[in-house]
Every structure is written in structure tokens, then in C-alpha cells.
Amino acid sequence: MRSNDLLGNSTRQLWEKVVPMIREARERFDPRLYENFEYLYDEVTRRAVPVQSVLGVGSPFSMSGVGQSSTGQGE
């Protein structure tokens, strides 16, 4: 398992929640505040592998076909 698989999603979610506060704090206190965290976010975002390519289309874990009955109609 790659480290991006372990940390990537959490890193992206956390950064996206706190970035407005960090930007404000950078303006008020220090423009370099949390720059390493931002770098980590940029790297895991850049290296992120789309879920579809990891699971593959038609995989038992993919979401294709969810909400469809055996007749192909949504329920």
C-alpha cells in the first residue's frame, strides 16, 4: 500500500476545510504559515490516482450499476 493511499484522502479533506483560516492567518501573521502542509496537499493531489482506475470498471467494488434493478431501471 502506498503512503498516498494512507494519507492522501485525509490530507486533502483537512486542507480543504482549513485553507480559508490558514490564508487569513498568513495575511495577519506569517506568509509561510503551514507551507509544508500546503506542499503535502499539493503533492498528494498531484499523485492521486482516480478511484475508477484503481478499482476498474465492472469491479465488484465499483459503483456502476448501483440503484438499478435487474431490468436495468432505477429503483
pLDDT one-digit tens code per residue, 2-45 = 555 667 888 999 999 999 999 999 999 999 999 999 999 999 99
The DSSP code sequence of 1-64 is: --HHHHHHHHHHHHHHHHHHHHHHHHHHT-TTTTHHHHHHHHHHHHH---HHHHH-TT-TTS-T
Instruction: Give the start-to-end residue ranges of the domains of the chain.
Output: 3-48
Q: Closest by alpha carbon to 51, among 3, 17, 8? A: 8
Residues 6+ apart with CB under 8 A from 8: 44, 45, 47, 48
Neighbours of 12 (CB within 10 A): 15
**What is this structure's pTM?**
0.59
